[in-house]
Amino acid sequence: MPASEPVRWGRKRVLPSCPNPLFLQWLTELRDEAKEKGRKTQFTYQKAINSLTKYPLPLRSAREAKILQNFGDGICKILDDRLQRYYREEGPNAPIHPLPAGAPPAGGADNNRLEASRATKAAGDEEEGGGGGGRRRKREYVPQRRSGGFAVLLALYRHSQLPGNKGFMLKMELQSEAQRLCDRSFTAPDPGSRYTAWSSVRTLIHKNLVLKTHSPARFGPLRRELRAPAGRELVLDFIVERKRMDDLCGSIMDGRFREQKFRLKRCGLHRPIYLVEGGGASASHLSLPEATLQQAIVNTQVVDGFFVKRVQDVRESAAYLTIMTRYLTSLYQNRALTCRSRELEGDAAGEEEEGGAPSSSLMSFAEFNHGAVKNKCQTVREVFARQLMQISGLSGDKAAAVLEHYSTPDSLLAAYDRCSSEAEKEKLLSCIRYGKLKRNVGPALSRTVYQLYCTPGALS
């Protein structure tokens, strides 16, 4: 047998960790997000992670990663987008990846110049540190003014200064408060990108500036400790809308009736009840015929799916509400109630349990109250929906179906411009299907919408 090589004693060289930690972190987040949603792309991201961890040199852009296996154009574009957002939040001279001692630059004259400029900046930082033994002073993270991170931190700070605050904010209310402090949208992605101002929250959590806890998620400043609320207020899935006959008549005439039903169906509670008070002689002096009011009540129950309870006067209303209170007390007592969020995907909100009992997963009062505010800032889509619902015969379901195809007036007008004839414009919306039965909007209503948005001057 050949003689074995002599054993060499000495200290083993410590291999550096992945020299591309930011890319590794972003790919891991993408993989985890895809895994939570059950997408097959999780396996693609995992293969890219495996290739990246084996590569020993730092990468200065995602384009350089194309030499690695399992890095296609899609993944490289996602990483480049995140890199640009990182520069916007951290500054144009922010370091990307720490280089291990003695490692050569990632290649190319441009990279050499980039490394030289960063070395110069590092030397300047060391001189500023003065007496620090040559160690570089760590740059503190400060988000740019009017950026997503800036707006979130300021909104959390202002909330923490309010007397009696909860010590945390839910996602919806945090986005609403922070939007006024930010130049970018917290819900709509930037043009040519899939990221919103809300994406910066991950950076804040990573920098230990924001704490995310619980489900549904609570966000609070990591540096004012969170104070647990004394109690949690939940909203039962039952909601009662009381209407006297004169109230019903007035809301039908000014268009509020359809809007109110639309908001009730979208409020997140799944057992709405219409309590209609009066009838007969009490409706004889109203501006609309009693037959019209009766038809509106029947449509509310049959078409809109509300449970309608008819009573004669206020005494019967009080008696019904008393009975409902006792019923709900007996229904929910001795039951373990949990808090749900409308933001969670796959939420089983509104589903019945065994025996026909309503779900014990209830919405928090804070989230319900935030979503039910009438005068909150509205998006163009929401205003467009309200405009459409002012048209006679255009219900909330029909408006929602139109919005699925044309989310803004501008997109609808652009579609009209692409039509080749007046007849085609008038029938543009006629074949849009709405509701559970998937009926067509119809030519008459389609023609009315076209005339409303495309007729110059006053309508005849």
Residue 15 has pLDDT above 50, yes or no: no
Task: Please state which architecture CATH assigns to domain 238-345+358-371.
Answer: 3-Layer(aba) Sandwich (3.40)
In whole angstroms, what is the distance from residue 260 CA to residue 255 CA?
9
* pLDDT tens digit sequence for 314-323: 899 999 999 9
Name the residue type at position 322: T
Asked if 150 and 181 touch (Cβ cutoff 8 Å), the reply is yes
Asked if 393 and 437 touch (Cβ cutoff 8 Å), the reply is no
Which tokens in the block code for residue 210? 């924001």
* pLDDT tens digit sequence for 205-239: 888 888 888 777 888 876 473 444 445 688 888 88
Count the Cβ atoms, other than its own, within 10 Å of residue 38: 8
Burial class (CB in 10 A: 0-12, 13-18, 19+), 402: buried
CATH topology of domain 148-221: Arc Repressor Mutant, subunit A (1.10.10)
CATH of domain 380-454: 1.10.150.670
In whole angstroms, what is the distance from residue 83 CA to residue 60 CA?
10
Q: Which residues contact 171 (CB under 8 A, 6 or more apart)?
A: 216, 217, 219, 341, 343
Which tokens in the block code for residue 306? 């509300």
Residue 446 has pLDDT above 90, yes or no: yes
Give the sign of the dihedral formed by CA 423, CA 424, CA 427, CA 431: positive
Chain-centroid distance, C-alpha 1 = 70
Three state DSSP letters for the chain: CCCCCCCCCCCCCCCCCCCCHHHHHHHHHHHHHHHHCCCCHHHHHHHHHHHHHHCCCCCCCHHHHHHCCCCCHHHHHHHHHHHHHHHHHHCCCCCCCCCCCCCCCCCCHHHHHHHHHHHHHHHHHHHHHCCCCCCCCCCCCCCCCCCHHHHHHHHHHHHHCCCCCCCCEEHHHHHHHHHCCCCCCCCCCCCCCCCCHHHHHHHHHHCCCEEEECCCCEEEECCCCCCCCCCCCEECCEEEEEEEHHHHHHHHHCCHHHHHHHHHHHCCCCEEEEEEECCHHHHCCCCCCHHHHHHHHHHHHHCCCCEEEEECCHHHHHHHHHHHHHHHHHHHCCCCCEEECCCCCCCCCCCCCHHHCCCCEEEEHHHHHHHCCCCCCCCHHHHHHHHHHCCCCCCHHHHHHHHHHCCCHHHHHHHHHHCCCHHHHHCCCCCCEECCCCEECCHHHHHHHHHHHHCCCCCC
Asked if 165 and 117 touch (Cβ cutoff 8 Å), the reply is no
* pLDDT tens digit sequence for 366-384: 777 766 666 556 678 888 8
119 vs 80, higher pLDDT: 80
Kindly state the greatest CA–CA separation across the chain: 116
* pLDDT tens digit sequence for 250-298: 888 877 887 788 778 777 788 889 999 887 666 667 778 888 888 888 8
In whole angstroms, what is the distance from residue 121 CA to residue 74 CA?
33
Percent of the chain with pLDDT over 90: 15
353 falls in which pLDDT band (50, 70, 90)? low
In whole angstroms, what is the distance from residue 23 CA to residue 339 CA?
36
* pLDDT tens digit sequence for 398-417: 888 999 999 999 999 999 99
Chain-centroid distance, C-alpha 438 = 27
For the chain, which residues make up each domain, given as ranges?
148-221, 238-345+358-371, 380-454
In whole angstroms, what is the distance from residue 270 CA to residue 351 CA?
9
In whole angstroms, what is the distance from residue 143 CA to residue 201 CA?
11
Average pLDDT estimate for 38-66: 82
Asked if 25 and 72 touch (Cβ cutoff 8 Å), the reply is no
Q: Which residue has the tokens 């209170």?
A: 325
> pTM of whole model > 0.75?
no
In whole angstroms, what is the distance from residue 422 CA to residue 303 CA?
32
Residue 114 has pLDDT above 70, yes or no: no
Count the Cβ atoms, other than its own, within 10 Å of residue 366: 19
110 falls in which pLDDT band (50, 70, 90)? very low
Give the N- to C-terminal CA distance of the chain in Å, as an integer: 107
In whole angstroms, what is the distance from residue 262 CA to residue 395 CA?
8
Burial class (CB in 10 A: 0-12, 13-18, 19+), 370: middle
Name the residue type at position 375: N
116 falls in which pLDDT band (50, 70, 90)? very low
